[in-house]
Amino acid sequence: MDAQPSGSAHGFFRLRERAWRGFARDAGLALTLMACLAGAAAARPRQYVAQSFAKRDFVPHVYDQSEVVRAYGPGWVTVDRGVQYRWYRDAVSDRWLRLASDMDPAPFYRTIDEMLVSSFGPPRAVSGRTESLAAVELFGVTLGSPAAEAVNAAKRRHFLRRGPTRLLGRRVEEIEFLARGPDTGLIYRYFLQEGRVVGLSVAITE
């Protein structure tokens, strides 16, 4: 005759079964939460422009054009003197983004050589695929800042030049400067019009 388990044994097995059920439930909840967080991170696109201007660098390396286009879409494309420009518009802040790429390399190997945020742009620029451009600033200078702030910010670094140029056919002043210290391979630009900043640029040096 088989021996019958005692009451204490029954209690032990019930406790163990309850513990395993609790563990399985908690593990399932943890996995569900991790999946939700991973999905949210995947659904949240990388903010290339905000990161580049906040860190004043293309980090950890110069962006692949194809990588950024996957995030922002193709934009409105123009070509001038061997440089391809992709224009986007942030309708909420009413600001424009221009990405520049040298066309010498094959498309697969092209990089983003410049990011320009401006207070005006082409009407055909594509809207809605970038992060908000409202808070973009470069060394504390924002679009709409007085020109004197841009001049002072550039002179506190490695000031290169100030002179006339054209931006989308408009006459503007351009200030070029580098960061202090070792060469980072980056150049910065402010664009001025009627005493105000109308453009901010982060670019790699040639």
Strands 186-193 and 196-204: antiparallel
Packing angle between helix 65-72 and helix 48-55, nearest 10 degrees?
120
Per the DSSP assignment, residues forming a β-bridge with 167 are: 170
Predicted model pTM: 0.77
- Any idea which of 18-32, 37-51, 55-69, 92-106 has the lowest mean pLDDT? 18-32
pLDDT in tens, 54-104: 999 988 788 999 999 999 999 999 999 999 999 999 999 999 999 999 999
Q: Give the contacts of 44 (CB within 8 A, at least 6 positions apart).
A: none
- Over residues 96-137, the pLDDT tens digits come to 999 999 999 998 899 999 999 999 999 989 887 899 999 999
Structural contact between residues 164 and 114, judged by C-beta atoms closer than 8 angstroms: no
- Among 142, 134, 153, residue whose Cα is nearest residue 196: 142
Per-domain residue ranges of the chain: 1-44, 48-204
User: What are 165's strand-pairing partners?
Assistant: 172
The C-alpha atoms of residue 152 and residue 171 are separated, in whole angstroms, by: 22
148 confidence band (pLDDT: 50, 70, 90):
very high
| CA 18 – CA 185 distance, rounded (Å) | 62
**CA 91 – CA 128 distance, rounded (Å):** 7
The residues, ordered by sequence, that sit 6+ positions from 154 with a Cβ below 8 Å of its Cβ are 162, 175, 176, 177, 188, 190
Question: Distance between CA atoms of 87 and 99, rounded to whole angstroms?
Answer: 7
C-alpha 11: how far from chain center = 59
Residue ranges in 116-169 assigned as alpha helix (H): 147-155
Q: CA–CA separation, 120 vs 132, rounded Å? A: 15
pLDDT score at 191 = 99
| C-alpha count within 13 angstroms, C-beta hemisphere, residue 184 | 21
